[in-house]
Amino acid sequence: MHGDGMDVARGPSASNRGISATKFRPGTHDWHRIPDRRGVMVILSIASCAVIVAATLGGTLLSTSGLGPSVENRVSQGATAAGLVSAPSARWAPAMAYDPSAKAVVLFGGQTLLPAPGSSPSFSNETWEFAQGKWTQLHPASAPSARAWAGMTYDARDGYIVLFGGQVYNSAGTSRLFNDTWKFSGGVWTNITPTHAPSPRAAFGMTYDVRDGYVLLYGGGQARGSCYGYPACALFDTWTFSNGTWSQVGSCGGVAQPSCGRSGPGIGWSLSMAYNRTDGSGKVILFGGVCGCGNYGGYADYTWTYAGGHWKNISSTLLSAPPGLVAAVMAHYVGAKGGQDLLLFGGATSNVYGSSILQNATYRLGSLRWDNLTSTLLEAPPTVVYPGMAWDGAASAIILFGGSMCNSFFSGGSCGTSGSLLSNQTWEWHFGHWKLL
């Protein structure tokens, strides 16, 4: 979400438009570079990204050790991702969800230009479907207005995709937040905004709660004001959506909310949330987010569950967990042996000085721990914040698209002079491996 975040940015120089990937040599414990599929080898290490940003934006050189393999990422803007005939343009913070009736992953919106200081950003209201390994742009007669940081999930009880909220901003940094509700079914968008709904917001958690049978929404950021009297941006309320109706779970302060530990300010926005089937009982999982408690520079490393109208902090029961993260993405998937797992990817963490560091680590939630799979992978998506990610039931794979290498979420939108640090890569997580499509 743009406009009220920290003044920190990390990423490669805007002049670097192509980056190669790396692969892990089995048996050698080493990584080697993969030539760019367009026939050009372009190398840019994560460490050198930090050097360039330090020189350009006045940032501090940060170590990337311990954050995952040094995948030397290829980032594309305005070019087709390797291997695909067509794809959405490069963007970050799109909304993505799987539509089982169409057997396709649906992508909506996103921010398509990270502007240079003083110039105007660009947002999309395009609708795309990904099915059978290819992207197809749809052209519905009507659609939600252009936006990023919206929430979108498939409402299994009502039988359609639900989209809510989101944000745009202009060159002056003035934000407009949304609280309209749309359904997407049969290739058609329909505005179903009810009178009673969550307040305008962006960068919140939203997923379908299979166990309880409704869409669950938590938190988010707003332009100003707060619940509990905490700093501007944070919202800490919980809502459900079913049969076209939004209902608040308790009131602000009326129920236990995800927080930084047993007490303290709530985790308000830029969090990761998805339904988890790993333990058989089924619960919504929330991880990370901006909390303002000073832990990891305000980035939470706590794991919360939601079931039956109650939030519970399970962090103390887990043997291991990722560092505090914001702007990461999370989705459930079916493993090679048919088991249900939960995958967490990317985002930004921070060091003891509160400076943000983008990462491309991959974590899997087991019954007792978060497992860092990063060192076991042959290749991985780039270090990005806010890509889109969703489970593709037809392909039995997770699909990840886009993301930003320049963390304007924290830098106030300053991404160099060309603002070209967005990805249009499509990645697939299938049976424990990432693959660039």
Backbone φ, ψ for residue 73 (5° rounding): -80, 145
DSSP bridge pairs for 5 = none
Asked if pLDDT for residue 246 goes beyond 80, the answer is yes
Query: What's residue 257's pLDDT?
Result: 64
Hey, what are 387's tokens? 């890509």
In this predicted model, which residue has the larger pLDDT, 48 or 75?
75
Q: Is residue 14 part of a domain?
A: no
Q: Is residue 10 part of a domain?
A: no
DSSP bridge pairs for 275 = 284
DSSP codes of every residue in 86-130 = --PPS-BS-EEEEETTTTEEEEE--EEE-PPTTSPPEE---EEEE
Hey, what are 22's tokens? 């790396």
Whose tokens are 């291997």? That residue is 83
Query: What's residue 415's pLDDT?
Result: 56
Please indicate, yes or no, whether the overall pTM of this predicted structure exceeds 0.85: no
Query: What's residue 116's pLDDT?
Result: 67
Asked if pLDDT for residue 232 goes beyond 70, the answer is no
List pLDDT tens digits, range 125-169. Answer: 999 999 999 999 999 999 999 999 999 999 999 999 999 999 998
Query: What's residue 194's pLDDT?
Result: 96
Mean pLDDT, residues 333-362: 78
Q: Is residue 3 part of a domain?
A: no
Query: What's residue 118's pLDDT?
Result: 67
Q: Is residue 100 part of a domain?
A: yes
Mean pLDDT, residues 197-201: 93
Burial class (CB in 10 A: 0-12, 13-18, 19+), 204: buried
Question: What range defines the domain where residue 147 resides?
Answer: 22-436
Query: What's residue 267's pLDDT?
Result: 74
Using 50, 70 and 90 to split pLDDT, how confident is the model at 407?
Answer: low
- Count of the separate structural domains present in the chain: 1
Query: What's residue 166's pLDDT?
Result: 96
Burial 32-41 (b: 16+ CB within 10 A, else e): eebebeeeee
List pLDDT tens digits, range 32-65. Answer: 333 333 332 222 222 222 222 222 222 222 222 2
List pLDDT tens digits, range 216-230. Answer: 999 888 764 444 333
To which H or E segment does residue 179 belong? strand 175-185
Q: Is residue 123 part of a domain?
A: yes
What separation in angstroms does the CA of 242 have from each of 183, 204, 213?
A: 12, 18, 8
Using 50, 70 and 90 to split pLDDT, how confident is the model at 89?
Answer: very high
The CATH number that applies at residue 280 is 2.120.10.80
Give me the sign of the Cα torsion angle 408, 411, 415, 417: positive
Whose tokens are 């047993």? That residue is 262
Q: Is residue 401 part of a domain?
A: yes
Select from 150, 158, 249 the least CA-distant residue to 201: 150
Q: Is residue 12 part of a domain?
A: no
Q: Is residue 228 part of a domain?
A: yes
**255/265 Cα distance (integer angstroms):** 14
Asked if pLDDT for residue 329 goes beyond 50, the answer is yes
Kindly provide the residue ranges of all beta strands, DSSP E only, lying in 337-425, ordered along the sequence.
340-345, 348-350, 356-358, 362-365, 370-372, 388-392, 397-401
Asked if pLDDT for residue 120 goes beyond 90, the answer is no
